[in-house]
Amino acid sequence: MINVGKKKVKAKQRPKTKAKGNQLARKLFNINAIEVLRKVGWGLDELSEKIIKSLEKQKSVSEDAIARRLKMRVNDVRKPLYALAEKGIATYEKKRDPKKKWWYLYFWSLNKERISGLVRETKLKELEKLRKQLDEERKYEFECRSCQKKYLHEEALEADYLCSECGSTLETARTTVTIKKLEIEIRRLESELELTPN
């Protein structure tokens, strides 16, 4: 009897576990396409974003299903779909309609590889920018601790290591908060990029 009871409980829990599994799978594969595209600066209109949302839920969706979901005519969703295909964000597959032999059905999917590639590209660009900023910050090797003026190596040498503003002796520039922040951010991005499979 106990066994039967346990089985019942198990059977009831099964759908829950499945939903959790799906959620996990989604999380592992998850990239919020719209957020990524906004970040990359690819402004999409409201309709395109709605289409992306409907494509995100499934592997492949027929044109009819997309139109139905958005309460639109198939002809009206086609144009934005092709625009997404042109940008490489969506792809389609042609299949013969089993009911009408001479017709084709179009099944659309989100090109998640392309989108995660965009994430990588964006992060690489960001990393490059931060590295340049860091080089810029680090080029001042000396500073005047009284008036905070910073000096390049050659400038300090030319000035005999004396501040041109106040005459104080120049000292080795300290690592600034900005430098520390940049270094942390650079390290974070570098490890992220190594983790992201290309």
In the complex, least distance from residue 158 CB atom to Zn ion, rounded to whole angstroms = 15
Q: Which of 146, 169, 175, 191 binds Zn ion (CB under 5 A)?
A: 146
User: Which part of the chain contacts Zn ion (CB under 5 A), choosing from 41-49, 78-86, 107-115, 162-170?
Assistant: 162-170
Query: Which of 128, 166, 169, 180 touches Zn ion by CB under 5 A?
Result: 166
Q: Using the 8-state DSSP alphabet, how is residue 134 labeled? A: H
Distance CA 74, CA 106 (A): 11
Q: At what angle do helices 46-56 and 33-40 cross, to 10 degrees?
A: 140
Ordered alpha helix ranges (H), 29-62:
33-40, 46-56
* Piece of 31-39, 95-103, 119-127, 163-171 that binds Zn ion (CB under 5 A): 163-171
Question: How far apart, in whole angstroms, are the C-alpha atoms of residue 173 and residue 136?
Answer: 13
Half-sphere exposure of 194 (CA within 13 A, CB side): 5
- The residue within the footprint of Zn ion, chosen from 115, 163, 170, 173 (CB under 5 A), is 163
Q: Which is nearer to Zn ion, 75 or 148 (CB)?
A: 148
Q: Is residue 162 within the footprint of Zn ion (CB under 5 A)?
A: no
Reduced to 3 states (helix: H, G, I; strand: E, B; else coil), residue 144 is coil
C-alpha 76/C-alpha 21 separation (Å) is 35
The Cα 69–Cα 91 span in angstroms is 19
Report in angstroms how near the CB of residue 137 gets to Zn ion at its nearest. 19
Binding mask 116-145 for Zn ion (x = CB under 5 A): ----------------------------x-
Residue 57 to residue 26: CA distance in whole angstroms: 9
User: Residues touching Zn ion: how many (CB under 5 A)?
Assistant: 7
171 near Zn ion, judged by CB under 5 A: no
Select the residue interacting with Zn ion from 124, 147, 157, 184 (CB under 5 A).
Answer: 147
37 vs 144 by CB, closer to Zn ion: 144
The only residue of 45, 165, 171, 192 in contact with Zn ion, by rule CB under 5 A: 165
Task: Decide if residue 19 touches Zn ion (CB under 5 A).
Answer: no
Residue 169: DSSP 8-state: B
Helix, strand, or coil (residue 58):
coil
Q: Could you list the residues that contact Zn ion (CB under 5 A)?
A: 144, 146-147, 163, 165-166, 168
